[in-house]
Amino acid sequence: MSKIGFIGLGIMGSPMAAHLQAGGHELFVVKHSSELPKELMDGGAIACASNKEVAEQAEIIIAIVPDTPQVDQVLFGENGVADGLSPGKLFIDMSSISPIETKNFAEQINALSCDYLDAPVSGGEVGAKAASLTIMVGGPQVAFDRASPLFNLMGKNITLVGEENGAGQTCKVANQIIVALNIEAVSEALLFASKAGVDPARVREALMGGFANSKILEVHGERMIKRTFDPGFRIGLHQKDLNIALDGARALGISLPNTATAQELFNTCQGHGLGDRDHSAMIRALEIMANHEIK
């Protein structure tokens, strides 16, 4: 049993932390103004006054927060994790953030004689609850080996992408590009079918038996048809990830034209007050432009 600090008990973090607790690990979490998850507290999780205290108490500290500035704050803000670290501890960032800043954060943590892994995830709320997340890891093999038993409690497809920090985040950016473009493709296909007078639900059913099938068609296609846009992964967060992709592309001197188009569709959604809806609601941008809602 390990002492695990877990920072970020949101849609993704709460079920991930619960799997670690069910696996026999002792959890240390941070007190909030809002109530901490009852399941975790009933299971024996210990509430700490700060991120620093979490780092002092735990052997391995995991964070999953919305964006790069939040990771910076968790690590280096007042009473941050860095203030509570001692040599030999491991920090694992499972957020989706800038690969460039990840390398900077890792250097600062390594200077404290601690290891750092960037380990962003894919699979959304469904994957977090089912412990079936894809976990993309960057960092030293020895740290990966140490963390693997924890990763195995939270995910199914776990890959050490590279032994340099930032490799996991780079892989996650690639993932988010593919997911966004697949959502766009499914949105266009179902809108086309509906506008042509064909039942999009039956079109989806037919396509799921062929080469066009995908997890996006299966899960998000159903969301589009049933109009169930409660967030599993919010548009605002996917916009953040595509901004990282487009900023990275500029730095690398390459063009990502379809990624830019997907971002513009998310921007349209945001402009119509849909930023907190699930990213499958990208179809709303196309529907707004077409003046046609699929049905």
Catalytic center residues = 172
Q: How many CB atoms lie within 10 A of CB 77?
A: 16
Length of the chain: 295
Q: How many CB atoms lie within 10 A of CB 29?
A: 24
The continuous run of DSSP H or E covering 42 comes out as: helix 38-42
Name the residue type at position 77. Answer: G
Rounded CA separation 185/173 (Å): 18
Q: How many CB atoms lie within 10 A of CB 142?
A: 11
Q: Which residues contact 227 (CB under 8 A, 6 or more apart)?
A: none
Under 8 Å between Cβ of 214 and 182: yes
